[in-house]
Chain A
Amino acid sequence: MGVAHRISGERGRKVSPAFAVAKGGEKMKPQSHDDVSRIFDAFCKKVLRNEVRDYLDEMNRKNNREIPFSALPVEAMEQFSSYDRYFTEERTFRILGCTVYVDDADLAEAIAALPKDKQDIILLFYFLEMSDYEIAKRLNILRRSVTYRRNSTLKLLKELIGGNADEQ
């Protein structure tokens, strides 16, 4: 009889026969209301501890992946911003079916003040980056006159813009 009751528990510990049925770690059937209270207590505490760990893990994950706006490099910040372009009507020029937008206000004003044929040459050469030869073909004039008009228009522009600068 003695041999039959010597059941060893976890880690080779000898367990007395009375407790041999319910080893530790098994789902225990609550015997009394007092047991329920203890199981409930352990359950609540475990829930809370696990939730704290979840929360801290989450915070760590966020910290590793998130960068505050204040720490962003300027280049990255610029991607999020957009600038409204006002008065675009005054600064856009239509030429041979293309729309040319001039960023600088003074320059746009000066170009707008030019006579139409000179304006075209400046826009085609400097903004659409066409060669004198291409411009001459498009406008049905000699290449030589394109070059001449371009140079003279540049001088005119310089005067116009210089005049503005002096006024300011």
Chain B
Amino acid sequence: MNSKQNYSRLLPYSVIQAAAAGEAVAVNVVLEHYKGYIAKLSLVGGKDPDGNTRVYADDELRRRLETKLICKILTFRVE
């Protein structure tokens, strides 16, 4: 893994600092950054009575994750 790729996958320090301080623009950047991960986590799979595997995106869960992330970003302490 080269360092350039590594950097692109992490949020820059300035954004984290601003987001933790509660700046809306920065929080939005963070949300956008984890959008894919949230979408992946929102996929809920289960077997229906017929035994077929059914995977669907749980919109409620996605919203909960976004809300939770916003709440928790604000508690992050940047040393």
Contacts and interface: CB of A to CB of B under 8 A. Distances in A.
Interface of A: 29-30, 33-34, 36-38, 40-41, 43-45, 47-49, 51-52, 55
A27 B69 CA distance: 21
Interface residues of B, number: 21
Shortest beta-carbon contacts, A-B, top 7:
A33-B13, A37-B10, A51-B68, A47-B72, A40-B16, A52-B41, A55-B61
Main secondary structure of the interface of A (DSSP, over half): helix
Given A36-B16, A48-B69, A30 B30 contact: no
Contact of B37 (A30, A37, A48): A48
Contacts of B79: 29-30, 36
Nearest to A30: B79
A48 B68 contact: yes
B69 A47 contact: yes
Interface in B57-79: 61, 64-65, 68-69, 72-73, 76, 78-79
Counting chain A CB atoms within 10 Å of each CB, which of B16, B34, B73 scores highest? B16
